Amino acid sequence: MSVNAETIEPGTGRVRLTFAPDGGEVRVPAGTTVFDGASWNGIAIDSTCGGHGTCKKCKVRITDGDVPVDTLDPRAFSPDELRGGWRLACRAIATHDLAVEVPPLQTRPKAALVGVGRHVILRPSVQKRYLELKEPSLEDQASDMERVVHAVEDFELRVELGAARGIGRTLRSSDFKVTAVICDDVLIDVEPGDTTERRHAIAFDLGTTTVVATLLDLATGQPLAVRSMLNRQQPFGADVISRVSATMMDPDALEMLQQRAHETMNGLAGEVCEEAGLSPAEVYEIVVCGNVTMMQLALGIDPEPLGMSPFIITARRLPPAVASDFGVRVHPRAPAAVFPALGAYVGGDIVAGMLATGLTRDRRVRLFIDVGTNSEIALGSSERVVATAAPAGPAFEAAQIRCGMRAAEGAIEGVAISGEEMTLEVIGDAAPVGMCGSGLVDAVAQLVSAGLLDHSGRFIPDEDAAELHPQLSTRLVKVGEERVFVLAWRGDDPANAIYLSQRDVRELQFAKASIATGWRILIKELGLDEDEITQVLLAGSFGSYLSPASAVRIGLVPKLALPRIISAGNVAGEGAKMAALSLRERAAADAILDEVEYVELSGRADFNDMFMDELAFPG
């Protein structure tokens, strides 16, 4: 067995993009454009067309690896430049590892490219106005606060008490030359001198497993630092249900869970500020998206009603909060903008994902699936969008999988079978120590294609396997009473090997059947045919790493041409960034609550029959 990423067929594996001079590195599914790969990694590439191939500004140089010349490239580059590796990033498709040089930005964008190719015009909630005020006198008795408020002509300002406290001293220590710091229409501070260029916010994606923080420069729309960290609530259980259960069993657990969320978020805030060389006091707003349980735990709201029927959420739109409600120590009066939720199992993270993908704004019919323990599914276009949540169980997190592990170094994340040869893709190019969710999906898809797993999900009998695949069949062995397929031997004893067991295949079948039933019901709800779907967007930390070919092979997604199945990356985090950069986008997120209809799966008469049909792998 060889471990070699190069041998994975295009479209089924992942490739590494390394960006200079930033030194950023990102792993993306083969077939992703350099432009998308860079934007997922927070690396800005010049563009005014948002990746549509019309502005010819997204020039990059491929310094290692090969990208064929696209039909649009000769319009942007001379033959010499083309020979030197220059390409338009939005046309450069990565089918193997590439090193990419990104020239400095030519224009400081007034708009930023965020989300899935979304162009966001910068209009953040956080605004600053530099003021040179007239000093008071016996004749001019206006109060300090009036002086500031009246000078800011384009806002009807309200003033925070905290901002009023320091105003007198600040005005006098800076010769009445000050900067008003405004969030929405509230004056939260008055700073000495001109600080208008220094405006920042942090966008948080508060995930059950991982929390991501992006520090944004609100003057340019560019990310200054991105950090992620495992959610420190992990010791209370891997999924939302176990964390809700913890609060039901122990009266102190809610406070402890809240504390852990705060430590995680504040730790990240400190890290991104340090990396960018900023004082946390220069961060004037945080934006948070997360599933409903994560949001309620972080805010100290009892999550018990979420854990039992009829699954009621405390509020779809939570009352106004400030950063310190999340334990985040930035500017002391920084507000916290929180994404609204559709319901108990379609939370603010999914609303953020819909915002980032423009699902409710696009004329094309698209299917959005956030693959996870609880998988959220939305289908539709600007005409109508329906959404649901499918309990997929822990197969994708690999928790219930015999040799399952998180997507970390040593995890098999890709499997390819060609004839009698099997190739593994292992994170970190290390010796395999387990298999993560995408490896599981690949392994099953490849074994179904090779005929070693039949359509009902059973390993075929040994004699048939020996005839069909004389070499691969030697991997089909028993561990105890269970038949398994060995992916990587570790010594002679199969029990020590990394393998796929019959029970693992069953777990995956249940998960994929649950998701497939979800989207089939949504298709029915909209009265569509499967082939009317123009694009499938796979999202979430797991969905983004899933190979489109394998997802189709096992029937997890509709059978569409592979280029129509897109790994959308961390769309929740992208949505949070969009809301930080633009009040217009924030309003669009809020509107999603009225635009999207929730479809409840449990209790539907057609659910069981459809679910049973979906258990099999497509022929």
For residues 336 and 576, give the distance between their C-alpha atoms in angstroms, rounded to a whole number: 11
Q: Please report whether residue 47 would count as binding ligand FES according to CB under 6 A.
A: yes
* Contact pick of 30, 58, 297, 448 for ligand FES (by CB under 6 A): 58
Which has the closest alpha carbon to 403: 496, 327, 320, 340?
A: 496
Residue 54 Cβ, how far from ligand FES at the closest point, in Å? 6
**Minimum CB distance to ligand FES smaller for 89 or for 299:** 89
Q: Report which of 444, 546, 449 is spatially closest to residue 485, judged by C-alpha positions.
A: 444
Nearest approach, Cβ of residue 327 and ligand FES (Å): 39
CB 573 within 8 A of CB 544: no
Query: What's the closest the beta carbon of residue 569 comes to ligand FES, in angstroms?
Result: 17
Residue 136 per-residue DSSP state? P
Pairing of strands 111-114, 118-121: antiparallel
Q: What is the largest CA-CA distance in the chain?
A: 103
Cβ proximity to ligand FES, 75 vs 83, nearer residue? 75
* Nearest distance in Å: CB 119, ligand FES: 10
Shortest CB 296 distance to ligand FES, Å: 40
Q: How far is the CB of 58 from ligand FES (least distance, A)?
A: 3
What is the phi-psi region of residue 429: left when phi exceeds 0, alpha when psi lies from -120 to 50, beta otherwise?
Answer: left
Q: Among the candidate windows 56-64, 218-226, 270-278, 572-580, which touches ligand FES by CB under 6 A?
A: 56-64
Q: Which of 3, 11, 20, 49 binds ligand FES (CB under 6 A)?
A: 49
How many other C-beta atoms lie within 10 A of the C-beta of residue 488? 20
Residue 20 interacts with ligand FES (CB under 6 A): yes or no: no
Q: Which two tokens stand for residue 599?
A: 């479809």
Residues 230-289 that bind ligand FES (CB under 6 A): none
For 392, phi and psi rounded to 5 degrees?
Answer: -90, -10
How far is 379 from 302, CA to CA, in rounded Å?
31
56 binds ligand FES (CB under 6 A): yes
Site for ligand FES in 89-108 (CB under 6 A): 90
Computed from CA positions of residues 3, 5, 10, 11, in that sequence, does the dihedral angle turn out positive or negative?
A: positive
Q: Which of 44-52, 399-407, 523-531, 588-596 is the region at the interface with ligand FES (rule: CB under 6 A)?
A: 44-52
Q: Are 360 and 385 in contact (CB under 8 A)?
A: yes
> Measured between alpha carbons, how far is 29 from 19 in angstroms, rounded to an integer?
16
If the CB atoms of residues 53 and 393 are measured against ligand FES, the closer one turns out to be: 53
Residue 55 interacts with ligand FES (CB under 6 A): yes or no: yes
Residue 51 lies near ligand FES (rule: CB under 6 A) = yes
Q: Give all strands of the β-sheet with 2-3 in edge-to-edge order.
A: 2-3, 421-426, 411-418, 434-435
The span from the CA of 205 to the CA of 289, in Å, is: 5
> Rounded distance, CA 18 to CA 101, Å?
8
Q: Report the residue number, 221 or 348, with the smaller CB distance to ligand FES.
A: 221
Binds ligand FES by CB under 6 A, chosen from 43, 88, 386, 554: 88
Residues 24-43 that bind ligand FES (CB under 6 A): 35
Q: How many CB atoms lie within 10 A of CB 459?
A: 20
Q: Which is nearer to ligand FES, 4 or 54 (CB)?
A: 54
Nearest approach in angstroms of CB 52 to ligand FES is 6
Query: Which spans of this chain sit near ligand FES (rule: CB under 6 A)?
Result: 35, 47, 49, 51, 53-58, 88, 90
